């Protein structure tokens, strides 16, 4: 089973040379720490930075340099800063190759709910709706179940939707799963996790074809 860093490490393997990548709040922000050194990747944050680096070491934080989640970050050489209009022009213009988001629920058809729990205070939609409406390659980083042990990979989302039929892949603490027209397709299982455990933790339709390899982190 993976922890949050393990999920981020596995997603980092999906990042290719030359990609422009947007990282959502939560687990996705960790991905920048684990991208291979031999490739060039530009991380974008919708509050207006292109060329975001890994998190700073303790004592080296710059309070004026933050990501969309208000976490302190670093800027790589050549990074650029701009206003929200320019930032969302990049997003809506489909200039971002990969979007990595957290989620509270994902449905078997690729619907995602990640911005609001009814009755609880929410700061706002943020850039999530623009990202899921514009991106063609969306990977979700999430825990497979909630704190009560209920599945977060569902037949149909129960929370307010952020986007419809937009998620392409999900990486959880238990598995790597592709979203297909026929439902969730199991690609890899986390170390020490059986296919049966993943099936039990998945409410939505889960396709299992052949022997499922263990993740290589």
- Known catalytic residues are 46
The strand pair at 98-102 and 138-141 is best described as parallel
Give the whole-angstrom CA distance, residue 5 versus residue 28: 10
Q: How far apart are CA 131 and CA 123, in angstroms?
A: 17
- Tokens 């933050």 belong to 66
Between CA 136 and CA 96 the distance in angstroms is: 9
Alpha carbons 34 and 29: distance in angstroms, whole number: 10
Residue from 123, 100, 82 nearest 22 by CA: 100
Query: How far is Cα 134 from Cα 7, in angstroms, rounded to an integer?
Result: 24
């Amino acid at each position: 089973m993976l922890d949050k860093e393990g999920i981020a490490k596995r997603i980092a393997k999906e990042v290719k040379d030359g990609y422009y990548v947007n990282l959502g709040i939560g687990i996705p922000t960790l991905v920048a720490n684990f991208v291979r050194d031999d490739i060039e990747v530009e991380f974008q944050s919708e509050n207006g930075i292109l060329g975001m680096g890994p998190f700073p070491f303790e004592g080296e934080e710059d309070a004026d340099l933050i990501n969309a989640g208000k976490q302190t970050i670093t800027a790589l050489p050549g990074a650029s800063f701009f206003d929200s209009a320019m930032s969302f022009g990049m997003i809506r213009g489909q200039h971002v190759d990969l979007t990595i988001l957290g989620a509270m629920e994902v449905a078997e058809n690729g619907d995602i709910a990640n911005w609001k729990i009814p009755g609880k205070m929410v700061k706002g939609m943020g850039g999530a709706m623009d990202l899921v409406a514009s991106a063609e390659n969306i990977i979700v980083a999430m825990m497979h179940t909630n704190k009560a042990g209920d599945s977060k990979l569902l037949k149909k989302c129960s929370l307010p939707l952020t986007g419809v039929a937009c998620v392409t892949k999900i990486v959880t603490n238990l598995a790597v799963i592709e979203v297909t027209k026929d439902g969730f397709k199991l690609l890899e299982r986390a170390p020490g996790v059986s296919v049966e455990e993943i099936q039990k933790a998945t409410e939505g339709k889960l396709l299992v074809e052949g022997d499922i390899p263990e993740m290589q982190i």
